[in-house]
Amino acid sequence: MSVTTANQKTEVMLAINGGPKAFAKQHGPRKPKIGMEEFMSIAERFGFSEEALQRIRSTVSDDDLGEGPTLSRFLTSVPAKTKGEDYEQKAREIFGTKYALPTSSGTGALHSAMIGAGVGPGTEVIVPAIGFFATAATVVAAKAVPVFCDVDESLCIDPEKIEACITPRTVAVAPTCVMGAVPDMDPILEVARKHNLKVIEDCAQAPGAKYKGRYMGTLGDVGCFSISSYKIVGGGEGGLLITDDERLFERAGLLAECGGLTRPDRFAPPRYPGELFCGTNYRLSELEAAIDVVQIQKMPALVEKYNTIRNSVLSQLKTYTEIVPQKLNDPQGGAGYMIRFFPENEELGRKIAAALNAEGIGIGRFIWPSECEIRGKDAPPDWHVYKNMFAVLQKMDSAETGCPFSCPIYIEKGGRIEYSEGDCPVADDLFDRNIQIWFDPGYDEEDCKNIADGINKVLSAYCTEDPDGRPWI
Ligand SMILES: Cc1ncc(COP(=O)(O)O)c(C=O)c1O
C-alpha cells in the first residue's frame, strides 16, 4: 500500500504507522544454541550405554528443546528457578547461613572471600603451613601478603602460634580443614576477636565437617568450599561461599560477578567507601549447579557415614611407642574420610606403608621429599605444604615487579616479609613422615574390623605396644 504524508514522498505504510512487519517471523529453522548433540555429548561423557543414548535420541529432538535452554544463571528463558538459585538456597538451608554464593571453584570462593573481608594492598593474612596452595595464592591475588603459621599434631594451624604472626597489617586469619581434620576453632576465634581479625575458613577439604556440633564454614566470618570432582562431595568444578555478613557477601559478589552485576542498580554511585571496584567472573555454570545441588544434599549423611567408619577403626587400634596418632580437635566431628599417624621417622614410615599396602590397606601420604614412589620419581613437589609453594616463597608475580611483597603501600606500612624452608618446623617434620589411610563410605563393620586388625598386625610387627601411648580417639 502506498500513501503520501507530510514528511514522506511516495511511501509504503511503515510498520511503525500500522503497516505489516517486514520480518514478522523467521522463515529458516531456529535451532537451540545448545541442543541435542551438546547434551548427548554430556551423556556420552558420563558413560551412558549406546542403548540409553539411542532412547534419548528417539524421544528428544532439537525441535523439542525450542530455543533454549540457556545455561546461564541470569539469562534463562524458563521462568522457574535456575539450578544456581536452587543450589544457593539449599546451601543456605543446610548451613543455616543468611547468604550463600555459588562459585566456579573453591579458589574462586576463597578469592571472593578475601576481597569481601577487606584483604588488599598493604595487608597480611595468616595462613596455615599445611593446607593447599590456593589459600596463600588467593591472598596474593588480592594483592596482600600471606604469613605462614606453623601447625600442631592435628596438622591444622596451631592456635598458640597465631598471635606471634600478627602485625599491625594483619586483617585476617584463614584456618584450613586439612583433609577432613578440623582446626581447633575456639582458641582461633578467641585470638581473632581479641585482635579484630576476620576469620576466613577454608573448608575445601572438609565439606560437611563439624566442630563441636557446628558446621565448619559457619564459625568464622566466611566459609569457603570446593565441590571439585576429587573432593568427597564432588561435582565437576564448583565452589561455594557462605556467610552471615551482608557487606562481606556483597563485596564477595562484586568480585565474583564482574564488579557489579548483582547490584540492584549497577550504575548507582557507591553506597559506602570502597563498595565499587573491578571484579572478575567466578559464576557457577548451570550444568555444574545442576549436579552440585544434588551433591550438597548428600553431604550430611556422607560425612556421618565417614565419621562412623573412622571412629570404629580408631577405637579398635592399639597404641605404640613409635606411633603418634593425629590429634583430633573434635573426635565426634570433622569429616572422617581418612585417618593419619606419624611414625617416629621416615624410614619406619616407609616400612609400615609398604606392609600396609601389601595387606590390601590402601595408604597414601603427602609425597615424601626423599622419594616419590607413589607418583613416580618425577612427581612434582607437593603443594600442600608451604615450603613447596614456590610462587609465594620466591615472591613471584606475573609482571616481575615484586608486587605485593615489595609494593610501596606495604613497605610504607612497615611491611617486610622473608620466606624460607624451616620457617615452620613442625609442618616440615610432620609433613615428611605422615601416613594416611583412606576409607570408602561403603565400608561396613566387618570392613572396619578387618582394616583395624590389619593396621594392628603391621604396627605390632614394627613397633612396641604401649598401653599408655596416646589414644587414637
Ligand atoms: C584446602 C583447599 N583450598 C582450596 C582449594 C581449591 O579448590 P578448587 O580446586 O575447587 O579451586 C583446594 C583444592 O584442592 C583445597 O584443598
Instruction: Give the atom of ligand 1 at the shortest distance from the alpha carbon of 227.
Output: 10
Q: If you measure from the C-alpha of residue 18 to the centroid of ligand 1, how many angstroms do you get, rounded to a whole number?
A: 60
Q: If you measure from the C-alpha of residue 226 to the centroid of ligand 1, how many angstroms do you get, rounded to a whole number?
A: 6
Tens digit of each residue's pLDDT (9 = 90 or more) over 280-329: 999 999 889 989 999 999 999 999 999 999 999 999 999 999 999 999 99
- If we measure between CA atoms, which residue out of 419, 128, 165, 424 comes closest to residue 136? 128
Domains and CATH numbers, the chain: 25-68 (no CATH), 83-294+385-417 (3.40.640.10), 300-384+427-462 (3.90.1150.10)
- Closest residue CA from atom 3 of ligand 1: 204
Residue 243: partners with Cβ closer than 8 Å, 6 or more residues away: 97, 98, 99, 113, 116, 221, 222, 223, 249, 252
- If we measure between CA atoms, which residue out of 303, 24, 312, 8 comes closest to residue 177? 303
Say yes or no to pLDDT of 370 above 50.
Answer: no
Instruction: Give the atom of ligand 1 at the shortest distance from the alpha carbon of 203.
Output: 1
76 confidence band (pLDDT: 50, 70, 90): low
Q: What is the mean pLDDT of the chain?
A: 90
Mean pLDDT of 97-114: 98
Q: If you measure from the C-alpha of residue 396 to the centroid of ligand 1, how many angstroms do you get, rounded to a whole number?
A: 20
Note the pLDDT of residue 368. 46
pTM, entire model? 0.91
Cβ proximity of 211 and 330 under 8 Å: yes
Tens digit of each residue's pLDDT (9 = 90 or more) over 3-61: 555 555 566 899 999 999 999 988 887 777 888 888 888 888 888 899 988 988 888 88
Q: If you measure from the C-alpha of residue 204 to the centroid of ligand 1, how many angstroms do you get, rounded to a whole number?
A: 5
Tens digit of each residue's pLDDT (9 = 90 or more) over 254-291: 999 988 877 888 889 998 888 899 999 999 998 899 89
Instruction: Give the atom of ligand 1 at the shortest distance from the alpha carbon of 110.
Output: 4
Strands of 381-452 (E only): list them: 435-438
Supply 292's cell numbers. 552440585
**Ligand 1 pocket: which of 228, 288, 338, 382 to mutate (most atoms <8 Å of CB)?**
228
Q: Which residues line ligand 1 (CB under 6 A)?
A: 105-107, 110, 131-132, 134-135, 176, 202, 204-205, 226, 228, 239
Instruction: Give the atom of ligand 1 at the shortest distance from the alpha carbon of 134.
Output: 4
